[in-house]
Amino acid sequence: MEPTEIQLLVFVSTIIVLFLAVVLMFFFFYFQQKKSSYLIKQREIQQRFEEEITKSKMEIQEQALQNISWEIHDNVGQLLSVAKMQLNIAQINLPEKEKNQINETGEIIGKSLQELRGLAKSLNPETIKNKGLIEAISMEISRFNRLNFINAELIISNDPFNLSNEKEIILFRILQEFCNNTLKYSKAEKLKIELIFGTNQLEIYAEDNGIGFDVNDKSKQNGIGLTNIKSRANLIGAKIDLKSSENNGTKLYISCPKEK
């Protein structure tokens, strides 16, 4: 075979090899892209599925809370009202000393009835829809102070704006969870919640001066419902930051975008 023919054969072979390499690389990148696209789509489907599950759980919880609220307000409230009325009737023919005792018992029942109705309102999502986030939080703060559970305060900064009912209910439930954890576990003496209404978002700071806990402890996270708090926040596009340390209390930061 002539040298020229050999060179031509080598050249053609090289071109064919290069062409096949390019084709293989093209198919490799094409299938990689398809694979990446498939994985992204699967993640999106999984995320939507998890969001729907969380949303369904929340709807069930809200319905359960509404039912409990109705039971407290209608059934337990009515029973206490009847008991108070019967005490008032019973004391008519009693001696003065016993009347005073009955009056004191009646006052206790009256205060219990008032507190139960306040609790029923805080559980009922319709109350939050009708009164709004600020008034719903104010009612909780007033209840804590009235019962001497803790020294609580609410601070409002800038001009308030309304969020959607869904966002306000979720934000209220997150803060309610935080407050309940403070009352149950923290041994705190003070609780402060601040709502800062910015141009594009609502920022919420909640903090107590309790004993705190290790935020990396999984058992603690489950105990305080941190997963539930994060899931609720994700549904409305809110950002959550929870910080806590022993003897330095617990601080919760929420950033919720304003509707356009």
Return the HEC string of the chain. CCHHHHHHHHHHHHHHHHHHHHHHHHHHHHHHHHHHHHHHHHHHHHHHHHHHHHHHHHHHHHHHHHHHHHHHHHHHHHHHHHHHHHHHHHCCCCCHHHHHHHHHHHHHHHHHHHHHHHHHHHHCHHHHHHHCHHHHHHHHHHHHHHCCCCEEEEEEECCCCCCCHHHHHHHHHHHHHHHHHHHHHHCCCEEEEEEEECCCEEEEEEEECCCCCCCCCHHHHHHCCHHHHHHHHHHCCCEEEEEECCCCCEEEEEEEECCC
- pLDDT tens digits, one per residue of 166-198: 899 899 999 998 998 898 888 899 999 999 999
- pLDDT tens digits, one per residue of 196-222: 999 999 999 999 999 888 777 766 655
Strand 239-244: give its sheet, edge to edge.
151-157, 190-197, 201-208, 250-257, 239-244
Cα-based angle 174, 144, 248 (whole degrees, multiple of 5)? 65
The residue among 250 and 91 whose pLDDT is bigger is 250
Above 90 in pLDDT, residue 227? no
Q: How confident is the model at residue 52 (pLDDT cuts 50, 70, 90)?
A: low
Above 60 in pLDDT, residue 223? no
Both structure tokens of 254: 């929420």
CA of 94: how far to CAs of 73, 102, 157, 172, in Å?
31, 9, 55, 48
Lowest mean pLDDT among 119-128, 185-194, 227-236: 119-128
Whole-number pLDDT of residue 137? 93
Above 80 in pLDDT, residue 77? no
CA of 211: how far to CAs of 75, 172, 181, 188, 189, in Å?
38, 24, 12, 7, 10
The residue among 82 and 165 whose pLDDT is bigger is 165
Pairwise CA distance, residues 113 & 121, whole Å: 12
Please report, rounded to a whole number, the percentage of residues in the chain having pLDDT higher than 90: 22
Both structure tokens of 148: 């001497």
Cα-based angle 252, 254, 258 (whole degrees, multiple of 5)? 165
